[in-house]
Homo-oligomer: A and B are copies of this chain.
Amino acid sequence: MDFQVKFTVNDKIFLKDPENSVLGRQIIKNAIDLIYRIGFESFTFKKLAIEINTTEATIYRYFENKHRLLLYILNWYWSYMSFLIMFKLQNIEDNKSKLETIIHLLTHELPESSGTLDYNKKYLNHIVIAESSKVYLVKDIQEINKDEVFKPYKELCLMIAQIITSYNPSYKYPRSLSSTLIETSHYEQFFIHNLPRLTDVSPENRNEFTAMFLNDLVFKALL
């Protein structure tokens, strides 16, 4: 089985839909590679243009600025994660298993698909961990939020919150626990690799640590 999944990204994020042209898709694919390599602060449209043999101005016809391009990538990620969760939960009845599956998905690399035009999931994962908070930790968040560009994040959060409520209807903070779960899965993974003293990771459980910690945390919270 092989298939391509396409998500509709809010058209206020881009000026010209990158999904509709070869160049547009190249921009996204290479942006992911480049942001992974040099980090979002060093990433510029000039450098990206050189990578794909075009000019800065051309990229500016697709995105207003680099912040919007990152927002596009994260919208794609949040939509993809929502899809993956729905897909994987299909035949699971037990709410505990559902939450365990979600925690596993949030704390491990995205499954690599075989489509050639597909984005590099390893890099995408890395970007989500290290750069995602930079799309909302900005001064003009209120203004940006009006365009509903965080809708996929809110939907992902709500979807998990609903499963939390199914598991324990009396729990009072389903959405906060959901956003905490998402955010914590990212930065604990970041800390493990870069500031391990802020965690209790040990060399043996590096890969499973974040999932173990979050499973413990979430199910105790929902007892």
A216 engages B221 (CB within 8 Å): yes
Contacts A145-B194, A198-B154 hold; do A39 and B139 have CB atoms under 8 A apart?
A: yes
Residues of B within 8 A of A136 (CB): 190, 194-195
Copies of this protein in the complex: 2
> Does A175 have its Cβ within 8 Å of any Cβ on chain B?
yes
Q: Is the interface of A mostly helix, strand, loop or mixed?
A: helix
Contact between B173 and A213 (Cβ–Cβ < 8 Å)? yes
Task: Establish whether residues A137 and B145, one from each chain, have CB atoms under 8 Å apart when the complex forms.
Answer: no
Selecting from A2-10, A83-91, A178-186, the interface stretch reads A178-186
Count of chain A residues with a beta carbon within 8 Å of a chain B beta carbon = 49
Of A139, A178, A201, A217, most buried by chain B (CB within 10 Å of CB) is A139
Q: Which residues of A contact B (CB under 8 A)?
A: 38-39, 41-42, 130-131, 133-134, 136-142, 145, 150, 153-154, 157-158, 172-180, 183-184, 187-188, 190-191, 194-195, 197-201, 213, 216-217, 220-221, 223
